[in-house]
Amino acid sequence: EADIYQTPRYLVIGTGKKITLECSQTMGHDKMYWYQQDPGMELHLIHYSYGVNSTEKGDLSSESTVSRIRTEHFPLTLESARPSHTSQYLCASSAFRDATYEQYFGPGTRLTVT
């Protein structure tokens, strides 16, 4: 079973606030990812990391930033939240299993910016 955690699960916050979405995994996986998903829509990769001190931008442009100081921790930060940031944010990590890198997802954070 995957052990990947996200906090908070739900967040309602005002415009202009700085927020950090937490993601932790206890599996020792090197690769971690952040996806953004609008309601009823597909997931879009916004950030990923190959390991400590490695971060890359994904396909979907995002105003968020990430850091990877420890293997198990991959937080996402929005310096100034806006209503357009309202979405679900899903964190994932991956391990090689059965000839592919299988991605394990956290429960997600539903962000609402008012």
Partner 1 sequence: AQKITQTQPGMFVQEKEAVTLDCTYDTSDPSYGLFWYKQPSSGEMIFLIYQGSYDQQNATEGRYSLNFQKARKSANLVISASQLGDSAMYFCAMREDGSEKLVFGKGMKLTVNP
Whole-number Å distance between alpha carbons of 16 and 5: 26
**Which one, 56 or 79, has the nearer CB to partner 1?**
56
The three-state secondary structure class of 112 is strand
Give the up-direction half-sphere exposure of residue 17: CA atoms within 13 A in the CB hemisphere: 15
Q: Which of 8, 12, 41, 80 touches partner 1 by CB under 8 A?
A: 41
**Nearest one of 91, 90, 81 to 113, comparing CA atoms:** 81
> 2 to each of 77, 99, 113, how far by Cα in Å?
24, 18, 30
Distance of closest approach, residue 47 Cβ to partner 1, in angstroms:
11
Residues from 46 through 85 that contact partner 1 (CB under 8 A):
48, 50, 56, 58-59
Residue type, 108: G
- The single residue among 22, 86, 88, 95 that binds partner 1, judged by CB under 8 A, is 88
Q: Which residues pair with 66 in a beta bridge?
A: 76
* Binds partner 1 (CB under 8 A): choice among 42, 61, 70, 84: 42
Examine residue 99 and tell whether it contacts partner 1 (CB under 8 A). Answer: yes
Name the site residues for partner 1 (rule: CB under 8 A): 31, 33, 40-45, 48, 50, 56, 58-59, 88, 90, 92, 98-108, 110
